A = this chain, B = another copy of it.
């Protein structure tokens, strides 16, 4: 799975000859993906030498990438004991969701001021498409559209820093999502209703309300992942 390349934002940010995507960042992305995809379990040591061979580079650039990943919070660097995949405590997960809620809420507020009618239309289209998947109980497709809608709103906020941090968060949470790709029937209905409200607030460009709904929506999502799975979940 790949990110959508940050099209417009990158072009806007790139000066005449700056911001060229260094071939060296490739190591970083590969390592990040490697960890996020779950090839290394939380608590595991990160085998420098082994990764060097499989990536075909020496330790120097790899260690630079590890430092960055540590700064991003994906791994821990223990003095003289190397890197370990960070374990996420329930509190960490709560903090992630709260941040995500905050980011989306902020994005929603800003998007109401800046989004074009065309972009609203596109989100509407995605919404109805998602609704179709909901009616047909097509969970993976529903999740995909859901994610896409949220990404569109964040993109419409017109804030590159926000978008970058948001994508970083969702990347870190991807591993968590693997285990949480399930939803209760009644929660699903509620989520769908919330999405109706989201779209409605966006149409009316009511930033205050959209911020509120998005925050609630994400916190509900978190609550759902916390509850022990009951008897009525789908899939």
Q: Which residues of A contact B (CB under 8 A)?
A: 12, 18-20, 22-24, 60, 63-65, 67-68, 71-73, 76-79, 91-92, 95-96, 98-99, 101-103, 105-107, 109-110, 157, 159-162, 165, 208, 211-212, 215
Expressed in whole angstroms, the minimum distance between the Cβ of A111 and any Cβ of chain B is 11
Report how far A65 CA is from B98 CA in the complex, Å.
29
Q: Which of B67, B79, B98 contacts A110 (CB 8 A)?
A: B98
A20: chain B residues at CB < 8 Å are 78-79
Q: Chain A at the B interface: mostly helix, strand, loop or mixed? A: helix
Number of copies: 2
Report how far A105 CA is from B101 CA in the complex, Å.
11
Minimum CB distance partner of A78 in chain B: B18
Contact at A161–B95, with CB atoms within 8 Å? yes
**Given A102-B106, A105-B106: A79 and B24 within 8 A (CB)?**
yes
